[in-house]
Each structure stands twice: as C-alpha cells, then as structure tokens.
Amino acid sequence: MIVTTSALTLFACGGGSDSNTSIPTTPEESSPPASTFLISTTVGAGGSISPTSASVTEGETATFTLAMEEGYEIESISGCNGSLTNLTYTIGEASTDCEISVTFLLTPPDEETEEEGEDSGETNLEDNLGEQKTLVALIGFKNQENKITRQQAHDLIQNNPNSLNTFIKENSNNKTWLESDVLDWVELDKEADEYFSADNYDNEKYHDDAIAAISNLADLASYDRLILMGSRSERGNPGCYAYQTKRYVGPDNHYFGYFAVMGGGGLDDDVVGCLTPGRIAHEYGHTFGFGHIFETDCAIGDLPQSLIDRHFDNSCQNKGYWETYDTMSFDVNYPLYSTIWRSEAGWLEDDQVTVVSESGLYTLTQASLSSSGTKLLKIPIGQGLEGKQLYYYVEYRKKLGGFDEEEFIAKSQEYEVLVRHTDFNGGIENKDKITYGYETAEGIREAITPLDVGQDFVDTYRNLSFRVERLYEDQEMSVADIRVSLPALTILPSYVYRFSANDDQEQTVTLKNTSDDSWVVSSLTMKGRHPNAFAVSNENCIDQPIMPQGKCEINVSRVRDTASLGLLAISINDGDILHAAELMGESLLIETEFDPNAPLEWQDYTSQYAKDINWEDAVAYCHDLSFNSHDDWRLPLIEELRAAFQQSSTPLYNITTQLWSISEPAGNLYNAYYIDGSEAWYNGDKLQKYNALCVRSQ
C-alpha cells in the first residue's frame, strides 16, 4: 500500500527529546561524552506509535508501542534495526539518528459497525492513476425547475476539449482519464429548504436521501468517484464541496469511494456557480487529495516573521482563494493544477521533481506543457505539527497550452515563477499551501511577482532565499535557472511547537548547525502576537560556539493560560543569520458552562460599553470593569449573547453593532465568536475591532 496525501506520513514533533539529556555543542575529541541520537517515526493512517520520538544514548535500545484504529491492521514496520513482538517494537543499539516507518492496512468494515459518513483517511497513489470510473447523478428537489440537461452535464465532464476529462489528461500527462456516466434527473421527495435554510443545513440528510434514491438505478460499487450535481434552487442549495479521502456515504453505506457535491449553480446564468468548468475541476481535484492554495500579499520584499500567524502585524494581507495559477485556488479561468498537486498525485515522473539538498543552481522547465525536465523544486524547511513535512515550492508557468494560456492572457503576462510553501498551520490533515505576491507602495496587489529576474525571494526569518539567474525562452523547452541558498541551521524536532491542555507546558527546541562554519547564538527573543505567553527556560545556547553538525538545546515554557501564538526569534552571529520557531498554546481556561436559567446583569448598552476594540482588549476591559458597585464583570458567552439579544422575544436591548463573546471555536487560536446585530453570529479574527458589552452572574 502506497500511502500519500490524506494518509501522509507522520513524523515526531513537539517535545520528543528528553529535556534532561544534554547534547554537547562543542564535543571534545579526547574524552567525548556519550552521544544521543534522535529516533523519529513515520506513521501512515490507521494507527499510532508511542512515543512519537525519543532521544537514545549511544549503544542503548528503546521500545515503541503500536496501536491500531478500528478496522486497521499492521501492514509493515521497519527501521533502526528493530524487531516487532506483538505490539512492541524494539530498536537495535543506537548508533545514529534513524527513523521507524509504520503503515497500516484498512480491512473491509462490517456493515453493522461502520458509521455513516465515516472517512477512511485513505488516499492512495494507485487511486489517482489510470481510468477513473465516475458517476454523475443529477439530483433535483421537489418542485424545482431543472436547468441543466443530461447532455450538458456529460459535455462538462467528458465530451469536449474544455471538459474535465481533457483537463485531467493534460494535468496528468495522460496517466489519468475519466470514464463517466451521467444519471438523468432524480427528484427527491423534499423541497430544497427542507435540507438547506437559514435555520437548518443538513448535508448528511441530503447525502442519504440522494444516494438512497440512486442506489437502485446504478451499481454504485462499480464507481471510483461519485458526484451529486444539481442546478441552483431558489429555495436552498447544498453548495460546492468534496472530500479528500474515501468516504462511506448513504443510510446503509451504499457507497464507499471519493465523493463530491456540485449543487449550487447553473450554466450561462451563473458564472461563479458550481457548474463552471473551473469549479468542477476544483472540486474534483479535492477527490485526488488536493488542498487549497491561499494567497498572501506583502509589502515589497517584506515576508512575515510568522508563517502561521502571517497577518497579525498587518504587514501582509490574506487574499484568500486568489492565487490565479492553480484551479485549486482561483478557478474562473481554469488554469492547470499546480505541479505540487500533480506531483502528489503521481502524475510527474520522479526525475521531474527535485528535492533541494544543498545550496546551488537548479534548472526548472516550464510546467504549462508536457515536456521533459524538472517541473518542481521542493526546498525542505523542516517538520511541522504531527510531523508534517514543510517545504518551499518553486514552479515556472508560461502562456502556453490549452488551459494556462487563457489565465496569462487575462493577466497580461508571459510567465510566472511561483513560490509557495506548506501551510504551517495544522497537522497532516491540512494539505493547503500558501503563495505570495508583493504590493507596490500604492497597494496594487498584482504589480510585482514574488520571484523574477531582478526580484529575489528572501525569507529572512527562515534564512532562505531564491533568485532567478536567467530565463531561456523556447516554447515547451523554456527553462529558468534558480539559485537557492539554504539555511545555516535546522530546528529539531519541529519548527512548530503546540502546547495543548494535555501536554507538558515545557518543550525542547534543538538547534542544529547545518552549515560548514561554526556559529554562535547571539540572542533569543519572544515575538509574535503574544510575546509574553512564552519564556525561554534556559539560555545554555547563548554565546556558545556551535560547530558544523553540532547541536544545542533550548527549553521553552508556556506562561499564559489563554490561547496564544508566539515566535522564538533566534539571532546568530549578531544578526547575520536569523531563524524562528513557531509557538502555539491552546487555551487552558475552563469556559463557564451556559445556563439558560441563570440570572444575569448586563452593562448598559445605551450609555456605556467598549467600542472598536480587539478581542483581547475586550476580555481585559470586562475583567477590569468596575460598574454599578460590582467588579466581577466578564465577557459573555456566545450562548448568553444570542439568548439575550437574538432569541428572546423581549430582548433587553436592540443590538445594532457587533459584540464580542468570550467563546472560541474548538482548536482555533485565531478566532472568537461574536454577534452582529439582532440575528447574525459568526467567528472572526481576534484582531478585528468590534465592541464589548460585559455581563455578570447575579
């Protein structure tokens, strides 16, 4: 089993090293202390290994325990000269850094125990190659006027030069193609607003009813991919979405495979709906395991310090799905998928992807037409959460080919040298990528590309840079020579450290000198959104020469209980080299439980409340408030705000502004919930400026 994309490898991260083990920074040749070696792990979907990493003294062994999820069994385990006994893997005597690799095999589920709609967590390379047997089922609602015909649907998928099939064949170099059937309109017994309305959005029920209706009309087990397609209904729509892994769908698990819904748009009368060629290709791309690409625009030459919290200091702006050279982002002009996705799908040859292992000059061939040569540069940054591999990616696209040409014409450009990186936020389930653009002083977002002849891409805070040395223009043989300068150090075991409620609130950051010269750590500084949320517990690395391949350890402690984002900024040789480790602290606070019957006293909305403040200031404002002879005020729960001002038949005040709540979305460090007027409520970035109306329990 070859596991890729959603079943990505899982490497050790966050505090895997024993903080009591000292790794010498300047080992003496005459009497060396015992060396320690990092034992890391990679784990496929379907199970886990504990511990995820360990520091083991030279000559000693260690044991690791395996656990499988329901429905999985061990397929293979290897590495570190180890042996498996039952569920215990014992490594041989440690003599070097090494890695244990484990894969698990999904076994067929019992119908009685498989839960409806459960993901398998599995996307295999073999699933992305060859014929893709696809069923498109046209699903309508009771009393809906159907706009798209069966022939129109078939043309979108299969039958013309602009079809999904043609697009997939060109992206995959003819390694993958579609064989599709279109099931004519099946009308459900319910009207659209019985599934999708302001008060109810029941996609699972829609899935169940639609698949139950078509299960007697088609042999669902014979299809690799299933699309529920529909025209826009004035009474509600399921929208456009897809799943990146195989999924059981239907009331009795009628279908197991890759699944997409394209049910919210027409054809000529709905330019941005689900049924445009670009949007169909976008959603179908998710079924190959592809994520999104999000664009971030910065001031010229000024990349953010934090690649997780890129926008907190307003130096860069999030443009969302605005990357115009990948249909997994802005899909209106229907350009080819990025070579990142094409590589992950197995559509590029091994020699067309170069993983940069040393600084030097690398040649990229244009990726808009099929040809030989390197199509993608991958520059390793390190590991992120859950061992996700972090890369910078460089790709060269031109105004060539049946799909890319239209995008370049629309942009009035001849070529683009694109720089993207793995989204540092989240673990292996987050497959998204980030791309960059530079704004001019006047704020014209697309005036300057991030990398071009005369425009270097410099990531000061990761000690990385790229330069276009020269371009050779010759249609499909067009190439770009890219100069890559790699960093002088690596941060182990991870670049991203997450302090969760269940973790030890101190973690070890190891710096490794990967250059040919010795260097000295000059300073360690906490920066980012919450610089006071973390602290360096020791400064053993400061002013100590670190020889090539040498290491030193830094202990970082969390000192604040609220959700926090920080950055350990590392200065080497008095600032000649800069680097950074990302720090994330999940909230440790126990939120007050909502009691709909509890008597509350509210601050006076008509005369006194805090205006135009961010979430952190709102929390502090209510905590420090002394009003009406009381000082036990707090920011209210989202349930309290909604109950008092949106759901009550006799609200205390008519709210016409946005009011912050104390409530945060689970696992989201950036956002908090707020109400907007008397009806709407959202979660938004804590940096936004809203208002604070405080409450106290009586």
Q: Are 283 and 260 in contact (CB under 8 A)?
A: yes
Alpha-carbon gap, residue 302 to 300, rounded angstroms: 6
**pLDDT at residue 257 is higher than 90:** yes
Q: What percent of the chain has pLDDT over 70?
A: 87
Alpha-carbon gap, residue 238 to 261, rounded angstroms: 8
pLDDT of residue 126: 81
Q: Dump pLDDT digits (tens) for 284-308.
A: 999 999 999 988 888 777 788 899 8
Q: Are 438 and 450 in contact (CB under 8 A)?
A: yes
3-state SS string for 584-646: EECCCCCCCCCCCCCCEEECCCCCCCEEEECHHHHHHHHHHCCECCECCCECCCHHHHHHHHC
With both helix axes pointing from N to C terminus, report the angle between 164-171 and 277-286 in degrees, rounded to the nearest 10. Answer: 50
pLDDT of residue 184: 93
Beta-bridge partner residues of 213:
none
Alpha-carbon gap, residue 346 to 172, rounded angstroms: 8
pLDDT of residue 266: 47
pLDDT of residue 23: 24
3-class DSSP state for residue 231? coil
**pLDDT at residue 410 is higher than 60:** yes
**pLDDT at residue 604 is higher than 50:** yes
Tokens linked to 533: 């949320």
Q: Dump pLDDT digits (tens) for 485-510.
A: 999 999 999 999 999 877 778 999 99
pLDDT of residue 687: 87
Q: Are 266 and 228 in contact (CB under 8 A)?
A: no
Domain 490-585 has CATH 3.30.2270.10: no
Domain positions in the chain are: 5-106, 125-286, 293-485, 490-585, 600-697
Tokens linked to 473: 């223009």
Alpha-carbon gap, residue 72 to 106, rounded angstroms: 5
Range with top average pLDDT, 119-133, 168-182, 228-242, 317-331? 168-182
Q: Dump pLDDT digits (tens) for 102-143.
A: 876 654 433 333 333 444 444 567 899 999 999 999 999 988
Range with top average pLDDT, 29-33, 231-235, 317-321, 636-640? 636-640
Please provide the CATH number assigned to the domain covering 600-697: 3.10.100.10
Q: Choose the CATH number for 5-106 among 1.10.10, 3.10.20, 1.10.287, 3.30.420.
A: 3.10.20
Lowest mean per-residue pLDDT among 76-80, 136-140, 338-342: 76-80
8-state DSSP, 694 = -
Alpha-carbon gap, residue 234 to 264, rounded angstroms: 10
Alpha-carbon gap, residue 105 to 44, rounded angstroms: 9
pLDDT category at 79 given cuts 50, 70, 90 is confident
Segment 333-359 mean pLDDT: 95
3-class DSSP state for residue 499? strand
**pLDDT at residue 534 is higher than 50:** yes
Q: What is the mean pLDDT of the chain?
A: 84
Lowest mean per-residue pLDDT among 110-119, 263-272, 313-322, 498-507: 110-119
